C-alpha cells in the first residue's frame, strides 16, 4: 500500500507502557478486610472502589519504541486518516456528520469504557467511548500466527474496526429484537457488515491509487485467516458452527469483496440478506 508521505490522523492516542490500576490490599488480607467491613454493615462495593481509586496507581513504564513499531504507528495513523476521509464523504452524501473515532495504541493490557482487556483479544472497538484499541504486536501475530502478511492485511483489520464505529453512528441493528441481538447469528451478521464496510474503504483506497499489486489479495487472505471455521479448526481440529461469532472464512471474504465492488454503504445490510 502506498502510504508514506501522506496525511496521518491526529486522532491517535498512545498509551503504550501504561498498565492498568493495581489494587493495594488484594489477596487473603484484602478479602478479610472486605468481610469485616461487610459484617459491620458497610457496602463492600464502596470499599473496593475506594481501594482502587485511593490506593491504586497507574503503572507507567517508559516505553521504548523500536524502528519497526514507529513505522507501524505511522502506518496505522495514515490508514485511520484514510477512513476519516471516506466516511466523512459518505456521511455527507446522506446529510449526516461523521464523528472521527480515536485509535488507542497500547501494550499488553488496557482499560476502556468496555472494560479491561489484554492484547490476547486482538484489536477491538468500544462503542462506549468510540475508540479503537490495538496493540501493534498484533501486526506480527497476523503474519506469523495467522499467516496473513502484508501491510494491507493490517489495513483491513483497522478498517474492520472502524466499520464497527460506522455501525455505532448509524445505529445498525436497532431494528432487530433484543432476543435476536443476543444470538450468535446476530453477532455473525454484525461482524460481516463490518467486513463489508472495510471493503467500501478499500474501494476508496483503490480509487485514490493507494493500492499496490497484491494488496487486495493480502486483505482477502487476512479475512480468510480470521474466519471462525479456520480458527476453530486450527485450535481444536474441528469446527462448531453453532458457536460462530464472526462468520466463516468464505463469508468474511465474500462480504469484504462485496463492499470493495460496491463502494457504498448501500448493499451491505447483512441483517436483511437471506444468504450470508
Between the ranges 101-105, 118-122, 233-237, where is the mean pLDDT highest? 101-105
Per the prediction, the chain carries an average pLDDT of: 87
Question: For residue range 17-32, what is the model confidence (pLDDT) as tens digits?
Answer: 886 443 333 444 444 4
> What are the sequence ranges of the domains in the chain?
21-60, 64-262
Residue-level pLDDT at 22: 36
pTM here is: 0.84
Measured CA to CA in angstroms, residue 57 lies from 21, 28, 50, 51, 223 at distances of 5, 20, 12, 10, 39
Residue-level pLDDT at 25: 37
Q: Where are the alpha helices (DSSP H) in the chain?
A: 27-39, 44-50, 67-93, 137-144, 151-169, 178-181, 184-207, 215-225, 228-236, 249-262
Question: For residue range 71-112, what is the model confidence (pLDDT) as tens digits?
Answer: 999 999 999 999 999 999 999 999 999 999 999 999 999 999
Residue-level pLDDT at 198: 98
Q: Which three cell numbers, joined as nine digits, stand for 47?
A: 470499599
Q: What percent of the chain clears pLDDT 90, i.e. is strictly above it?
A: 75
What is the spatial distance between Cα 18 and Cα 271, in angstroms, rounded to a whole number? Answer: 39
Residue-level pLDDT at 34: 39
**What confidence category does residue 60 fall into, taking pLDDT thresholds of 50, 70 and 90?**
low
Instruction: Assess whether pLDDT exceeds 80 at residue 153.
Output: yes
**What confidence category does residue 62 fall into, taking pLDDT thresholds of 50, 70 and 90?**
low
What is the spatial distance between Cα 147 and Cα 105, in angstroms, rounded to a whole number? Answer: 23
3-state secondary structure of 157: helix
Give residue for cell 485450535: 235
Give residue for cell 499489486: 213
Amino acid at each position: 500500500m502506498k502510504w508514506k508521505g501522506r496525511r496521518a490522523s491526529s486522532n491517535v492516542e498512545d498509551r503504550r507502557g501504561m498498565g492498568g490500576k493495581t489494587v493495594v490490599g488484594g489477596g487473603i488480607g484484602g478479602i478479610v478486610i472486605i468481610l469485616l467491613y461487610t459484617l459491620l454493615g458497610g457496602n463492600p462495593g464502596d470499599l473496593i472502589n475506594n481501594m482502587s481509586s485511593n490506593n491504586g496507581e497507574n503503572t507507567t513504564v517508559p516505553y521504548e519504541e523500536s524502528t519497526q513499531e514507529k513505522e507501524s504507528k505511522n502506518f496505522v495513523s495514515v490508514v485511520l486518516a484514510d477512513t476519516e476521509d471516506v466516511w466523512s464523504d459518505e456521511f455527507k452524501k446522506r446529510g449526516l456528520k461523521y464523528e472521527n473515532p480515536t485509535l488507542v495504541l497500547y501494550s499488553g493490557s488496557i482499560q476502556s469504557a468496555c472494560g479491561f482487556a489484554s492484547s490476547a483479544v486482538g484489536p477491538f472497538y468500544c462503542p462506549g467511548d468510540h475508540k479503537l484499541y490495538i496493540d501493534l504486536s498484533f501486526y506480527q501475530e497476523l503474519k506469523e500466527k495467522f499467516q496473513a502478511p502484508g501491510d494491507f492485511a493490517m489495513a483491513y483489520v483497522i478498517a474492520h474496526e472502524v466499520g464497527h464505529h460506522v455501525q455505532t453512528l448509524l445505529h445498525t441493528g436497532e431494528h432487530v429484537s433484543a432476543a435476536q441481538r443476543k444470538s450468535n447469528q446476530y453477532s455473525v451478521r454484525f461482524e460481516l457488515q463490518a467486513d463489508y464496510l472495510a471493503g467500501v474503504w478499500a474501494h476508496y483506497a483503490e480509487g485514490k491509487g493507494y493500492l499496490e499489486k497484491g494488496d487486495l489479495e493480502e486483505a482477502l487472505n487476512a479475512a480468510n485467516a480470521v474466519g471462525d471455521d479456520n480458527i476453530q479448526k486450527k485450535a481444536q481440529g474441528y469446527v462448531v458452527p453453532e458457536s460462530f461469532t464472526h462468520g466463516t472464512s468464505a463469508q468474511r471474504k465474500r462480504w469484504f469483496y462485496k463492499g470493495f465492488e460496491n463502494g457504498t454503504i448501500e448493499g451491505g445490510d447483512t441483517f436483511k440478506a437471506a444468504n450470508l
